[in-house]
Every structure is written in C-alpha cells, then in structure tokens.
A = this chain, B = another copy of it.
C-alpha cells in the first residue's frame, strides 16, 4: 500500500536493534484517515463475503480492527491480555510471548464470541516473530471457526513470523513488508526489492 509506505518513510523512526517506531500515526497517536484507507485495502484484499467477524488483540490492534470492520459490516472481538475479574464464564486462552515487553501474556477470548459458524479475519498492526498472530490462530482453531486470513499493517519480512504463518496455509496480507531497515539507509520494502 503505497500511501502507508510513504508515511513510514516520512514519519517512521528506525532505531538500533531492528526497531521501527510508528507511534506518531499508528500505535500511540492514530491517523484515522490513513487507517480508513487501510480498512478499504483490507476489504479489497479479502473480498470474501462470508467473513463475519474480525479478531484482534489489545491494545494497538483494536482501533485498526474497528475502522476496518466498517468495510466488512461485522463486529470486532479483541483478545484480552491477562484474565480480568470482569471476564467470567468459559474462555479460549493461549499464551503469547511479547518480545517488546519481554514477558509472556495469557490471552483470552470469551467462548460466546467465537463459534464454528464464524469465518474470521484476523487484523493486527505488526507481524514480526509471529507470536501474537499464532496465538490468535490457536484461539480461532480451538473455537472451530474458519480463518479467512490475516490482515497485517506492517510485516517485518526479515523476521520469520510471516513465513511461519503462511506455511500453515493461512493467507497473510501485509500492507507493507519491510525486508530490511537501518537508521541510515531507511526501510527496504519488499516491492522495492523485487523491482
């Protein structure tokens, strides 16, 4: 998605250690007009009319999922990190390791909100090592629901998550795939590598 790549080039900040900061428009301050364009693009990439629910994970996936859901006419379910005393009843749960926060979370979705009749589109902001996405896939599979695919805003193509998930036969569509980056030369997007 060219608009997104332009924005990453303009406002993304690359730090040592393969860290890309996009908090000025994506995951702290959120440019809603840009995210609407992402929502339209996810709809174009996943035209399947039977998609009836979007699944994401708190926190930074939620806003992107909600805006995107408008183009699918469906509800959003967000997986929660750690069990809240306000969540009762049975839940699907999985564990997700966060390298950003250097800890492992229990992640839950209430069973009532996923069923074998659902065709789920998973939406998230980042795909790097794939831990979060694999955890969400695990939850959808436990619910017996169908996975239409995963829509990712930024995939770090230099990490193995995308390959891991695609090797399971799951369709992953990333709006920008970054194959390499460094603070001096910037981001190399996959399209640019191919060209």
Contacts and interface: CB of A to CB of B under 8 A. Distances in A.
Interface residues of A, number: 43
Interface in A1-57: 15, 19, 21, 23-25, 28-33, 35-36
A21 B70 contact: no
A15 B30 CA distance: 35
B76 A110 contact: no
A23 B36 CA distance: 25
Given A30-B77, A59-B62, A59-B80, 18 more contacts: A15-B88, A19-B86, A21-B86, A23-B86, A23-B87, A25-B75, A29-B76, A29-B110, A30-B76, A32-B70, A36-B70, A59-B59, A59-B78, A60-B62, A63-B65, A63-B76, A67-B67, A85-B101
